[in-house]
Chains A and B, each alone.
Chain A
Amino acid sequence: MTAHVELRQISKQYGAVRAVLPTDLDIQKGEFLAILGPSGCGKTTLLRMIGGFVMPSGGTITLEGQDVTRLKPEARPTNMVFQGYGLFPHMTVAQNVGYGLRLARVPDEERKRRVQEALSLVHLGDFGPRSIDQMSGGQRQRVALARALVMQPKVLLLDEPLAALDLKLRKAMQEEFRRIHSATGGTFIFVTHDQEEAMSLANRICVMEGGRIVQSGSPQDIYLRPQSRFISRFIGEANFFRGQRKDGKVTLENGLSFADAGKDAEIDCVVRPENMGIRLNESETLPADFDLQIVSTVEEVVFLGPYTHYKLATQNGERIIVEVRDQGQNRCAHPGAKALIGWRSRDHTVLTE
């Protein structure tokens, strides 16, 4: 079966700037795909090429088997929600949403009905006659979404859709996006630099770095099995232990060692803060399956509500964060105290690049 959207060796160059390097990507029908990466990595350029706003320097884009590479935006069965939304300030909410249908010469009756449906879908059923400057940031975002959805696009493209909203609204809108995605069953591709947003919304994440997709997989995959230092650093927090792998055995600079198959190389052993354990009393021990253990010095204790972050330093100067699900009961953990920390070797990832 061919994919819904296929990018083949798609690339974009602006003068000397290589915004997107030749990239392959298949997107299946009904997917909710996140393109995740830091600012300037080429996410928007990639998305705009799919929407038809940027002419690729090379490669092809196929949509349901049809080559759309050279089609203008108005001729593509995609719709896009732009960064900043691009709402028409001289039109009412309903006129904004109905604009595309009017251009498509959809009869009045049907247009009104579809506009109303789209507005109801984003919970703005009563806001049709309002003008745009009477709408709040979150409402504008939903108008933009309704305006794109009313066209029943084969693929919906969203450029940093939640970036302009405050944290609380962002969480609420994430909820909405999930609901709307399952209600419409459409294919959604969205671009974000916020790894948490990508995690919570997408069923697949493509991580971009410097114009190329460096890893693509489910959120769990990306989080638990990052394939490079860059990704592990970019997605969530991570502890890094430098070391050497020789003859199938890794020796870390802090003295710990364990078996690990692979070529001889400089490695980083990556452990997520929540996979680490900590004991602050000398009388206590870590569970038996925490096979890698080391003594460190507490530098700081940060209380974060449901968890506490212990920031520590090992003897050879590695900075470590341990996340514990407690509410800061371990008051004795004053800076300078010795602590035993450890993790299970099955919870770490060994990276060579």
Chain B
Amino acid sequence: MGLDRMIWTGFATLTVLFMMSPLAVLVLFCFSESPLLSFPIQGWTLHWFFAAFDRPGFFTAFQNSLIVTACVGAVSTVIGTLAALSLSRMNRRAAGSLMALLTLPLMAPPLLLGIALLTFYTSWVDVPLGLHTVIASHLVFTQPFVILVVSARMLSFDFATIDSARDLGASPLQAFFQITLPIVSPSILGGALIAMALSLDDFLVTFFTIGGNNTLPTFMWGMLRRGVDPSINVVAVLIMALSLGATVLGFRITRYRG
């Protein structure tokens, strides 16, 4: 192995270690007996899990997170997919500009997005804050991902399949459900899982638009303000595991079949 190869490998290893170590520390501290977050770890326990689950409000937050994630996943997938399918039928230039417009929310910093949405809900349309506003807000930044993922798939979509189906007697609706949907479903599912992962661990936008409720990330924020103890790590690891699971599954499925 040449010197340059060694330097590169070393650099890559360090980068990965640096990126992974906070996660590793987080997981380790979940099981540490000491209430202080410090090394070396003295003894091991599952106490903090029970402590986290026993906290008032934990299960409500957990339940809220599931509701928001499920709704955001479903709605952004349906709307994002329909948008991507329409885009794929347009001419390239129009589709390009429209796509840039639709994915614009991704450019906005989440903090600004959160404040803007809060202003919108309270002073423009005057709706009470709650899970519904969180869901609507999450759609703003999750839908572009679904559009992007499904559009990428449509670039290599063979439209002759739809023409063939129509030619063989299928109505437009039959062609959609029997041909288009099964062919692009891996990408749609991938987009949905990415959207759900993003929704699940969003803090900033949720924080501004949820009003008096909590999801897991805002619940964690509340715990933090009352002093750090290891049960917060448990919640963090829970969020991480859920969104990591969704993302990994999402990438798996989208890569499957290209």
Number of A interface residues at 8 Å Cβ cutoff, please give it. Answer: 25
Residues of A within 8 A of B170 (CB): 74, 99, 103
Q: Select one of A53, A79, A84, A85 contacting B168, CB under 8 A.
A: A79
Task: Identify the closest chain A residue to B181 (Cβ).
Answer: A90
Query: Chain B 161-179 against A: per-residue CB contact (8 Å), 1 yes, 0 no?
Result: 1111111111100100001
Determine chain B's interface SS by DSSP, over half rule. Answer: helix
- A138 CB–B CB distance under 8 Å: no
Residues of A within 8 A of B161 (CB): 86-89
Query: Chain B 139-165 against A: per-residue CB contact (8 Å), 1 yes, 0 no?
Result: 000000000000000000011111111
Determine the distance from Cα of A87 to Cα of B123 in the docked complex, in whole angstroms.
54
Determine the distance from Cα of A144 to Cα of B183 in the docked complex, in whole angstroms.
18
Task: Identify the closest chain B residue to A89 (Cβ).
Answer: B183
In the complex, which of the residues A51, A53, A82, A147 has the most CB atoms of chain B within 10 Å of its own CB atom?
Answer: A82
A134 to chain B, nearest CB (A): 14
CB pair A73 B158 closer than 8 Å: no
Q: Which range holds the interface residue count of chain B?
A: 10 to 19
- B182 CB–A CB distance under 8 Å: yes
Q: Select one of B159, B163, B182 contacting A90, CB under 8 A.
A: B182
Determine the distance from Cα of A151 to Cα of B166 in the docked complex, in whole angstroms.
13
* CB contact list, A76-101 vs B, under 8 A: 78-80, 82-90, 99-100
Q: Given the known inter-chain contacts A84-B158, A86-B160, A88-B161, please indicate yes or no for A100 contacting B168, CB distance below 8 A.
A: yes
Task: Identify the closest chain B residue to A157 (Cβ).
Answer: B167
Residues of B within 8 A of A83 (CB): 160
Q: Given the known inter-chain contacts A82-B160, A83-B160, please indicate yes or no for A104 contacting B179, CB distance below 8 A.
A: no
Determine the distance from Cα of A135 to Cα of B170 in the docked complex, in whole angstroms.
25
Residues of A within 8 A of B169 (CB): 74, 100, 103-104, 151
Residues of B within 8 A of A147 (CB): 164, 168
In the complex, which of the residues B164, B182, B183 has the most CB atoms of chain A within 10 Å of its own CB atom?
Answer: B164
- A334 CB–B CB distance under 8 Å: no
CB pair A80 B167 closer than 8 Å: yes
Q: Given the known inter-chain contacts A51-B167, A103-B170, A147-B168, please indicate yes or no for A90 contacting B183, CB distance below 8 A.
A: yes
Q: Given the known inter-chain contacts A86-B161, A88-B179, please indicate yes or no for A99 contacting B167, CB distance below 8 A.
A: no
- A72 CB–B CB distance under 8 Å: yes
Residues of B within 8 A of A99 (CB): 165, 168, 170
Sampled A-B contacts (20; CB under 8 Å)? A72-B166, A74-B166, A74-B171, A78-B167, A80-B164, A80-B167, A82-B160, A82-B163, A84-B160, A85-B160, A85-B164, A86-B162, A86-B164, A88-B161, A89-B161, A99-B165, A99-B168, A103-B174, A147-B164, A147-B168
**Shortest 5 CB-CB contacts between residues of A and residues of B:** A86-B160, A100-B168, A86-B164, A82-B160, A103-B169
Given contacts A73-B166, A74-B171, 10 further A-B contacts (CB under 8 A): A53-B166, A84-B158, A86-B163, A86-B164, A87-B161, A88-B165, A90-B183, A100-B168, A147-B168, A148-B167
